[in-house]
A and B are shown apart, each in its own frame.
Chain A
């Protein structure tokens, strides 16, 4: 019946496969490969607007990077920095590269001149509002008679009281200790001068193409700086890490995929010693891979690098079905016909796929973008591979001659004779030892859900990052504040309310610099209040300015001109500001229209008291302190718990499914090796002191899916166990090979999955072989 139905499917399936190949070929050139770890992780549990704003800001932020080019002599450092910046500019990977910022800063200050009559520094506002105008007068006199005046960006003619100078000085650029020298920013430390270069990438650093070009540009720029005499180039910014991770990912993907494929080919050749099984296996694997990619492209619009790495190990799984199919050849060396093979193998392959797919589909239920991709990729890819084996192979395969003493036959026979361990007492002792080992392991089990443990960058990059922080004497915090409102004006007003709350924290050092847009362009409400204050106290006929200038000896017409200039001051509009060079340090903070409102980010430096910060941000409308790391760690924690419950649920479902065919005791016996293998793997990790995270748990779920394949293969071929044993042996070897390789990945969570799965499958197979139902022997007759 099954055979008949599968036969009729041949042409439709072949046509479907051709269509798949065509669609895949059409989609491949435009395939977007994503590499951000955050894209893999679940979204925080927030409203969509906030989420969108957080994304927009982190995307902006991830494009910025800062480099310090150091040499023993300032002039050399400057030349090397120029070479570095030149190489970045000519690469085209960076939209903007900043080296000579001195002129831009001077220009940025001068941008404010037309609005000088209405802008106030915090200090001056306080003095004027509290009747201490005298202090302002003293400060202005000091600037005129002592060298203090040289520190002001504006002269006495443009800014007689220093109001605008103070407003501009109140804006601290986020470059820490760096000072201006010959138009560039520089820091000196330990006998070296460092020159600062800032860059902004053209595209999101997480697009694979951008990473590749930025990574190459950075390598070239470093070489150029070194050739120009730089002794040290350190950098800070997401792009370097992304580029490093992408390069590593690519290398791993091709290495693991290559070894895995080559290993499978060698194993298949050793087992079957014929080209046709090899080619057909390769065909089913390739079609499976194409189907997985296509499914991801259709469902998610692109594919994540991690899915690709993971997918390269799919080879190890999909090859199992081919092996099981071709191993059937040894059931009857003389009269085997491929068309008969499904009768013996279809149930095993079908059930095996079903359990595997079920565990992958369980992943699909978790709102984890990365896991859903892996799940969909695997379920689709394995489904197609499984279909190919069952539908295409019977017609395309040919019997091939096998030697009487073929290696595969001998291996199968040897495996059949082997029953581990042979003596009953020893078995009991081994079971007890294993139980004790698992119990001890479970008692030592500890969990580690911090997302930072999942981001591993090359140590030299992390050292560079720390060095930049140390040299600039400040560190940007991962936390930031998101401010939202119905209008741009409301956003600015809310920012001002927040800054007022943060002021005490800054004064006693619990918080460093706060970079906020409203610091550079006050809300219209604030500007109106300031203009009013100024008009009443400073620019009135008997105000501070006329009195001050008269005292110095200015003529009345000169004073009148000053007053007229101040009186004509308009309000500074946000759009005018954003279009000006003064907006440069603030540009990434303004998020503009988002989800029906407006939003901006306030960036924080040197957070020393997170609790006080949270308290300050609490209760302000539209203001939210965002700490992505903490949020994601929390989410990881929750989903780890959910995944653990999910494992139990999937076991129950698979158990129920199997009990329909094998009965309750049979189902339990079929599941035991997978359960035991998973527990033993977990115990090994626990004894090794590994903190268990979500990805270990998910790997256990996959162990369940694949491990139960093996017991099912064994059980389904009780009447002819030699081929099944051979298939299981080969399948385990290929699976351990591919997942064992993942354990060597430098990406922590791929490593976690690989190690857990290699251990779990290894143990499962040992158990499956050892606990193989003895009934098999009698059934042969």
Chain B
């Protein structure tokens, strides 16, 4: 009980710190939505980052912060991921608990450390395949596909360093707006941060401190990660 209270106090302190930082941060990001760009313009803006994303896959580490309404401090999680073009996304959360999330065209599979499995087949849920398609396009920075569902925005982010850029996405259909309020992707030589906001005001910020392109075919071990 006491431990909890102490943690709450720490959180409160963190919150006051964040409170000073967040608004400016958000405001700076919002500026991108004043700069609409088409898919070709975005490709030119991103340059090498998009060529990287066009590789047969991408692997790396992630650090996720989830900001929820009424929750003073963000929920932190981290782990590793693998994006394999044509196969799907393998998202391995290690902290705060071990959980593997696999998204493929045929559905979603969740496996916890305790072995608990949860499956959602896209044959049963019309929304799953749609969400999968958007996530795949986000990872591949496939703006042609994204442009059919989102209005696209983009601008150079000079203050973040040379070659830095920021891309914004806003859904066109109200159906999608229920899931994604808006999305931001920032990076330079590659994407380093993705931020998704939903209609209720919750935000998920995913930082990608490390990532590398996969050249050539996937190893059998990696392939196995997407098998049923």
A147-B103, A175-B126, A553-B72 known; A153 vs B91 contact (CB < 8 Å): no
- For A141-185 the 0/1 string (1 means CB < 8 A from B) is 110111110110101111000000000010011011111111101
- Is A138 in contact with B131, judged by CB distance below 8 angstroms? no
A144-B66, A157-B68 known; A180 vs B77 contact (CB < 8 Å): no
Residues of B within 8 A of A74 (CB): 148
A173-B126, A180-B126, A181-B133 known; A156 vs B108 contact (CB < 8 Å): no
- Is B122 in contact with A179, judged by CB distance below 8 angstroms? yes
Bound form: Cα–Cα A158–B202 in Å: 11
Number of residue pairs A-B, CB distance < 8 angstroms? 136
- Is A182 in contact with B173, judged by CB distance below 8 angstroms? yes
Q: Is B174 an interface residue (CB 8 A)?
A: yes
Q: Is A611 an interface residue (CB 8 A)?
A: no
Bound form: Cα–Cα A116–B38 in Å: 41
- Is A553 in contact with B175, judged by CB distance below 8 angstroms? no
Instruction: Say which residue of A103, A109, A146, A558 sits within 8 Å of B99 (CB atoms).
Output: A146
Q: Is A106 an interface residue (CB 8 A)?
A: yes
Bound form: Cα–Cα A424–B219 in Å: 95
Residues of B within 8 A of A158 (CB): 200
Bound form: Cα–Cα A102–B174 in Å: 8
A449 to chain B, nearest CB (A): 37
Residues of B within 8 A of A146 (CB): 77, 91, 93, 99, 101, 110
Bound form: Cα–Cα A175–B126 in Å: 8
Q: Is B212 an interface residue (CB 8 A)?
A: no
A105-B175, A138-B112 known; A147 vs B91 contact (CB < 8 Å): yes
- Is B118 in contact with A145, judged by CB distance below 8 angstroms? no
Bound form: Cα–Cα A139–B97 in Å: 12
Residues of B within 8 A of A151 (CB): 108, 120, 125, 127-128, 131
- Is A145 in contact with B129, judged by CB distance below 8 angstroms? no
Q: Is A550 an interface residue (CB 8 A)?
A: yes
How many interface residues does B have (CB within 8 Å)? 56
Closest residue of A by beta carbon distance from B100 = A146
- For B111-139 the 0/1 string (1 means CB < 8 A from A) is 01010101010111111111101010000
| Chain A interface bracket (under 10, 10 to 19, 20 to 34, 35 or more) | 35 or more
- Is A178 in contact with B72, judged by CB distance below 8 angstroms? no
- Is A179 in contact with B112, judged by CB distance below 8 angstroms? no
Bound form: Cα–Cα A553–B116 in Å: 25
Q: Is A552 an interface residue (CB 8 A)?
A: yes
Residues of A within 8 A of B16 (CB): none
Q: Is B13 an interface residue (CB 8 A)?
A: no
Q: Is B48 an interface residue (CB 8 A)?
A: no
Bound form: Cα–Cα A579–B189 in Å: 54
Instruction: Say which residue of B124, B172, B198 sits within 8 Å of A182 (CB atoms).
Output: B172
A151-B127, A179-B128 known; A145 vs B70 contact (CB < 8 Å): no
Which of A145, A148, A550: most chain B CB closer than 10 A?
A145
Q: Is B71 an interface residue (CB 8 A)?
A: yes
- Is B93 in contact with A139, judged by CB distance below 8 angstroms? no
Within 173-208 of B, Cβ neighbours of A (below 8 Å) are at 173-176, 178-179, 196, 198-202
Within 63-101 of A, Cβ neighbours of B (below 8 Å) are at 74-75, 100
With A144-B75, A157-B200, A182-B148 already in contact, 13 other A-B pairs whose C-beta atoms are closer than 8 Å: A102-B176, A106-B174, A138-B112, A146-B77, A147-B89, A148-B101, A148-B108, A155-B202, A175-B126, A180-B126, A182-B149, A553-B71, A558-B71
For this complex, 9 residue pairs linking A to B, each with C-beta atoms less than 8 Å apart, are: A74-B148, A102-B176, A110-B178, A138-B112, A145-B96, A146-B101, A146-B110, A183-B174, A555-B70
Chain A interfacial positions (CB closer than 8 Å to B): 74-75, 100, 102-103, 105-106, 109-110, 135, 138-139, 141-142, 144-148, 150-151, 153, 155-158, 169, 172-173, 175-183, 185, 473, 550, 552-555, 558
Among all A-B residue pairs, the 10 with the closest Cβ atoms: A102-B175, A179-B129, A183-B173, A558-B70, A155-B200, A145-B77, A180-B130, A106-B178, A157-B69, A103-B174
